[in-house]
Amino acid sequence: MTAIDVVEFEINNEHYALDIGLTREIVEMVQITPVPRAPAHIAGIINLRGEITNIINLNNILGLPEKDGKDIEEHKIIVLVPDAAEGSIVGIIVDAVHSVLQISEKDIEQIDGGLSNEAYVKGIIKIDEKDSENQESDKGERKRLIIWLDISQLLQDLLASTR
């Protein structure tokens, strides 16, 4: 059984995951410089050790409500490997980064059709809740869902849209 490593993060109290191979590093939130007349899904650019890093606003792409400004300092930026976007360095803003998860294939539910295309969902990961407080109530039956995003597809589409 193949196991997949993903990074779990949170946006708007929803849990998401992306392939660990795509991530380069996670940095603290910094001041983002907006680019005039850039598309709405581009939050702006930052200077990451001398490299221009393009910050993508996932909320906009996934159709989630915009961030309300509070706790903005708590947010993190997941910086992706340059290969993911044809050499451009791209970062995505997330509310929080949780952990690296090793998931097995059986825990992934493939989703076909509209949902996966529109929201770039690669699959839904179901894992048992490990929190001790929930242990009693549902005898480990309680599962939580993580939305596994297809970030490479998302980037491909973004790149294609600018051509």
Partner 1 sequence: MTDEDSYRKLFVAESIENHETIVNNILVLEEGSDDNAIDEIFRAAHTLKGMSASMGYMQMEHLCHKMEDVFHCIRNGEIGITQELTDIFLACTDRIEEMIEDIESGGDSSSIEAEDLVEKLKNYETNGGEEETYLPETEDTDSDYESIISGANSEDIRESTESEDPSQEHPISENPVIPKIQKYIIKIEIADDCNMKDIRALIVLQNLEELGHIVSSKPTSEEIDEGIIEDKLEIIIESDSGEEALKSAASITDIKSVLIEPVGEDITEKTPEYRLFITIEPECGMKDVRAMIVIQNLEKLGNIISTSPSLEEIDSGEIKDSFEVILSSEEPESKIQNNAYGTEIKGVKIEPYNPELPSKEQITPEVLKSTETTEEISAPEPEIQLEEFEPGDLKKKDIKPLDGEKETPNRDKNKDSSKKREVKNLRVDISRLDQMMNLVEDLVINGGRLKQIAKEHQIKEMDEALNMVSRSISDLQNLTMYIRMIPLNHIFNRFPRVVRDVAHHDGKEVEFIMTGGETELDRSVIDGLGDPLLHLIRNGVNHGIETPDVRIAAGKDPKGTVTLSAFRDQGNVVIQLSDDGKGISRKTVLRKAIEKGLLSEDEAENLPDEEVPGLLFLPGFSTAEVITDISGRGVGLDVVKSAIESLKGSIKVKSVEGEGSTFTLTLPPTMAIIEVMMVRINNRRCAIPINAVVEVAKINLDNINRIGKSEGILLRDEVLQLHRLDEMFGQAQPSGIIVILQYQGSKCCIPVDVVEGQQEIVVKPVSNIIGTCPGVGGVTIPGDGDVVPILDVNTMII
List interacting residues with partner 1 (CB under 8 A).
33-39, 42, 44-47, 49-52, 54, 56, 85-86, 88-90, 155, 158-159, 161-162
**CB of 65 vs partner 1, minimal distance in Å:** 23
What DSSP character marks residue 30?
-
Smaller CB separation from partner 1, 57 or 147: 57
Q: Give the angle 107-108-111 at the CA atoms, nearest 5°.
A: 150
Smaller CB separation from partner 1, 34 or 140: 34
**CB of 45 vs partner 1, minimal distance in Å:** 5
- How far is C-alpha 127 from the chain's CA centre? 18
**CB of 30 vs partner 1, minimal distance in Å:** 10
Strands across the sheet containing 108-109: 96-104, 3-11, 14-19, 143-149, 121-128, 108-109
Start-to-end CA span in the chain (Å): 40
- CB distance 17 to 146 below 8 Å: yes
Smaller CB separation from partner 1, 69 or 113: 69
**CB of 35 vs partner 1, minimal distance in Å:** 6
What the block records as the tokens of 97 is 């980064």
Smaller CB separation from partner 1, 14 or 51: 51
